[in-house]
Amino acid sequence: MISRLVITLVIVGAATLFALWWQRRDGRVRTDEAGRFTADQLQAVGLVDGSAEALAVLLGSPTCAPCLTVKQILGELADERTDFHWSYADAADHLDIADAHHVMRVPTLFVLDRGGRILARTSGVPAKVELRRVLDRDGTLESV
Amino acid sequence: MPRQLARDDQGNLIIDKRGPRFGAAVTTVVLAVALILQGQVGAVLVVWQWIAFTISTFFGLAWSPYGNLFRFVKRRFDLGAPSQTEPEGPPRFAQFCGFAVLTVAVILFAITGVDAVGAWVAVGIVLALSTLLAATGLCVGCELYLWGHRLRSRTAQ
């Protein structure tokens, strides 16, 4: 009985610790990613308009609740600024892109400059303020 | 049972986001007690949990025993309208995952009796996942989606 109690507590405890770690990681905006989307990749997800200063590609799946939240955030950001275009793509239809950028889960979001260079990457639901910070830095400061 | 089910613009069923978290918490308690007690009583609890997963998976979350318990709790304690809703699909898939693993446990109970070690390992796995779900609201389908499609595209080649 005691040993079963210990086993059960260890399972629940380990899962809780993992959950806390996972939650801290989820949605974190990473800006240390080197790499770029090729012109072909941008075209494949429907980002061909050259007028935007910043782009975003969201890889998702049809039955993914967090993807809807990220879509909503991107929609709101796009309403705020005219120089930002984003596109949603089903990850399963673009496995080549998912493989090229080592995407393991949905939703994964890439924020790019106009040339396709990756400025930031997130998986899970990012905070809107953090994305705004990434876009502000790009749109006004760096892309000269 | 609800007479009117909430749907989004496309006609997909939508649910209160707190529901699956609540259900996962109940599942965690049920399976933790089962794993501690084991024996006949423990096995009965596991079979009950398996039935709950079966109902939610095949009849929809509107019929989920814990979902209805949550509905009752919500009314009784006046928890108010959901702050967020979500499509039924992802949490229903999570219920399917629980159903699939616990099916192994139920089969092992039937074959080798309530002392089957493999069955209790399966219970431990579902216990870990339901704890994770209760603590984070994890989207199981989102984590497995690309694995599934990569596997499928590789076997197709």
- The answer to whether the Cβ–Cβ distance between B141 and A104 falls below 8 Å is no
At A19 the pLDDT is 92
Q: Rounded to whole angstroms, how far apart are CA atoms A67 and A108? A: 9
Spans of all domains in chain A: 29-142
Mean pLDDT of A118-130: 92
Domain ranges, ordered by start, for chain B: 14-156
Least confident stretch, A47-51, A125-129, A135-139: A135-139
Nearest residue on chain A to B84, alpha-carbon basis: A69
pLDDT in tens, B34-76: 999 999 999 999 999 999 999 999 998 888 888 888 888 888 8
Cα–Cα distances (Å) from A86 to A36, A70, A116, A136, B125, in that order, read 15, 11, 12, 15, 39
pLDDT digits (tens, 9 = 90+) for A129-139: 999 988 887 44
Q: Can you give the pLDDT at residue B3? A: 55
Of A49 and A142, more confident: A49
B96 Cβ neighbours under 8 A, 6+ residues apart:
B53, B57
- Yes or no, beta carbons of A67 and B142 under 8 Å apart: yes
The share of chain B scoring above pLDDT 90, in percent, equals 46
Chain B closest CA to A123's CA: distance in Å?
10
Contacts of B124 in chain A (CB under 8 A): 7, 11
Interface probe with B: pick from A63, A67, A102, A104, most Cβ of B within 10 Å? A63
Verify whether the Cβ–Cβ distance A23 to B146 is below 8 Å.
Answer: no
ipTM surpassing 0.85: no
Q: What is the pLDDT of residue A142?
A: 45
Q: Please name the fold of domain A29-142.
A: Glutaredoxin (3.40.30)
Listed in sequence order, the DSSP H helices in B5-116 are 18-37, 39-59, 65-76, 89-112
